[in-house]
């Protein structure tokens, strides 16, 4: 009789195990799995019922059924665990679909910016001159007349001081017409030797058209030291031109006039378009030469104005338009393109000529 009861219990256990594993395999949610666990393994679950009935078995038979309970329990637990993994994986996949994550769609392109062409030129000019010992300085865009004109030997009636040419804020304050104010400010606070570059934005009273803009960019250089001569000026600027436009570049100096330099000169470089041969070249209009910058020996009156002794120190200065060099370098035909910030234009400049 005892043996028969044991056989029933063993059969019950196997039936419970089979049914539980089957339910686990077809479960679709974590909640369903939790329900199966409670039904079978819970305190009042099916295995518990069998466990409580062990008392009706003989001491001899009890361990056999007890062992089967443990075996069934761990098999059911393994089945529930596997079901949980399967359900969780399915849920993640559903979430991805619900999130409309379509891996076949093209990715979102991260657009890279590029330096503005005027910045590229400014950067290259500075890089060319830094090895010669220059440093870069900046100064105010809104300036007192003295730093922009007075200290630079502009007489009171000079036409540049006319309101037709210069944007005045008040009688004595204006938007700087060149970056020379930085030269003056540097010399006022620093004893020679001075080697300084002044890049930046300048302002003139001009109508905006293809070749003029009321706002444009310059870079100026100033070199002051004892025994500085015109030969130094020529050497530095020739080196500069060769570095910026290529080693085969030739330069020529023509006499000119500026209030703040004496003697003054304009430097031309052999044309970047035709290599200086001229003949039908649109860039140099057939002359073979391109006007690049103005320069000269610093006028003794300027040195005196900033408190230097012209008997002890001399210097030279030069200045050029950033737009002009960019126009020559890339053949840009309308200066307004530099200020309109049209990305279709700006995207064409990578920094390399
Ligand atoms: Zn040419």
Ligand 1 center from residue 279 Cα (angstroms)? 8
What is the distance between the alpha carbons of residues 141 and 167, in angstroms, rounded to a whole number? 11
Say whether 91 sits in a helix, a strand or coil: helix
Say whether 61 sits in a helix, a strand or coil: coil
Question: Residue by residue, what is the 3-state secondary structure of 94-140?
Answer: HHHHHCCCCCCCCCCCCCCCCCCHHHHHHHHHHHHHHHHCCEECCCC
pLDDT tens-digit map of 162-183 = 877 899 999 899 999 999 999 9
Ligand 1 center from residue 280 Cα (angstroms)? 8
Please tell me the total number of residues recorded for the chain in this structure.
353
pLDDT tens-digit map of 51-65 = 888 888 888 888 888
pLDDT tens-digit map of 8-52 = 888 888 999 999 999 999 999 999 999 999 999 988 888 888 888
Question: Residue by residue, what is the 3-state secondary structure of 256-293?
Answer: EEECCEEEEEEEEEECCCCCCCCCCCCCCCCCCEEEEE
- Are 245 and 325 in contact, with CB atoms under 8 Å apart? no
Ligand 1 center from residue 241 Cα (angstroms)? 16
pLDDT tens-digit map of 101-113 = 677 888 888 877 7
pLDDT at 100: 67
Ligand 1 center from residue 290 Cα (angstroms)? 8
Ligand 1 center from residue 285 Cα (angstroms)? 6
pLDDT tens-digit map of 235-270 = 999 999 999 999 999 999 999 999 999 999 999 999
pLDDT at 126: 96
- The full DSSP string for 192-227 is SPEEEEEEEEEE-----SSS--SEEEEEEEEEEETT
Average pLDDT, the chain: 90
Q: How many CB atoms lie within 10 A of CB 268?
A: 21
Ligand 1 center from residue 212 Cα (angstroms)? 22
pLDDT tens-digit map of 76-99 = 999 999 999 999 998 888 887 777
Tokens 């870069």 identify what position? 136
- Are 315 and 297 in contact, with CB atoms under 8 Å apart? yes
- Are 24 and 82 in contact, with CB atoms under 8 Å apart? yes
Ligand 1 center from residue 291 Cα (angstroms)? 11
Ligand 1 center from residue 21 Cα (angstroms)? 89
Say whether 51 sits in a helix, a strand or coil: helix
Ligand 1 center from residue 86 Cα (angstroms)? 76
What is the distance between the alpha carbons of residues 232 and 234, in angstroms, rounded to a whole number? 5
pLDDT at 301: 96
Is pLDDT of 273 > 90? Answer: no
Ligand 1 center from residue 288 Cα (angstroms)? 5
Ligand 1 center from residue 326 Cα (angstroms)? 16
Ligand 1 center from residue 56 Cα (angstroms)? 114
pLDDT tens-digit map of 179-235 = 999 999 999 999 999 999 999 999 999 888 988 899 999 999 999 999 999 999 999
Ligand 1 center from residue 64 Cα (angstroms)? 106
Ligand 1 center from residue 53 Cα (angstroms)? 109
Ligand 1 center from residue 140 Cα (angstroms)? 37
pLDDT tens-digit map of 97-156 = 777 667 788 888 887 778 899 999 999 999 999 999 999 999 999 999 999 999 999 988
Ligand 1 center from residue 37 Cα (angstroms)? 90
pLDDT at 353: 46
pTM higher than 0.75 for the full model?
Answer: no
Question: At 351, is the pLDDT very low, low, confident or very high (cuts 50, 70, 90)?
Answer: low
């Amino acid at each position: 009789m005892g043996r028969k009861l044991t056989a029933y219990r063993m059969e019950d256990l196997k039936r419970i195990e089979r049914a539980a594993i089957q339910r686990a395999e077809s479960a679709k949610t974590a909640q369903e799995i939790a329900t199966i666990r409670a039904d079978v393994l819970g305190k009042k679950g099916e295995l518990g019922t069998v466990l409580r009935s062990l008392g009706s078995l003989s001491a001899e038979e009890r361990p056999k059924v007890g062992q089967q309970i443990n075996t069934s329990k761990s098999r059911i637990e393994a089945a529930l665990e596997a079901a949980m993994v399967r359900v969780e994986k399915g849920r993640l996949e559903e979430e991805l679909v619900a999130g409309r994550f379509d891996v076949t769609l093209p990715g979102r392109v991260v657009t890279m910016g590029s330096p503005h062409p005027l910045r590229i030129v400014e950067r290259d000019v500075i890089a060319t001159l830094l090895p010669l010992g220059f440093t870069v300085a900046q100064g105010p865009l809104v300036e007192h007349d003295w730093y922009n004109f007075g200290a630079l030997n502009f007489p009171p009636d000079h036409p540049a001081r006319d309101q037709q040419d210069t944007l005045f804020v008040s009688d004595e304050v204006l938007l700087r017409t060149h970056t020379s104010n930085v030269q003056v400010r540097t010399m006022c606070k620093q004893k020679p030797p001075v080697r300084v570059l002044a890049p930046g934005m300048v302002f003139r009273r001009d109508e905006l058209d293809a070749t003029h803009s009321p706002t444009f960019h310059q870079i100026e250089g100033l070199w002051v030291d004892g025994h500085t001569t015109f030969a130094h000026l020529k050497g530095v600027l020739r080196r500069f031109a060769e570095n910026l436009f290529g080693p085969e570049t030739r330069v020529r100096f023509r006499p000119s006039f500026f209030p703040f330099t004496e003697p003054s000169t304009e430097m031309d470089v052999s044309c970047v378009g035709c290599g200086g041969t001229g003949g039908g070249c649109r860039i140099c209009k057939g002359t073979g030469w391109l006007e690049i910058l103005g320069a000269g020996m610093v006028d003794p009156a300027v040195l005196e104005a900033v408190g230097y002794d012209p008997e002890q120190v001399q210097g030279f200065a030069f200045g050029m338009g950033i737009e002009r060099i960019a126009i020559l370098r890339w053949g840009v035909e309308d200066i307004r393109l530099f200020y309109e910030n049209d990305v279709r234009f700006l995207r064409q400049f990578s920094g390399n000529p």
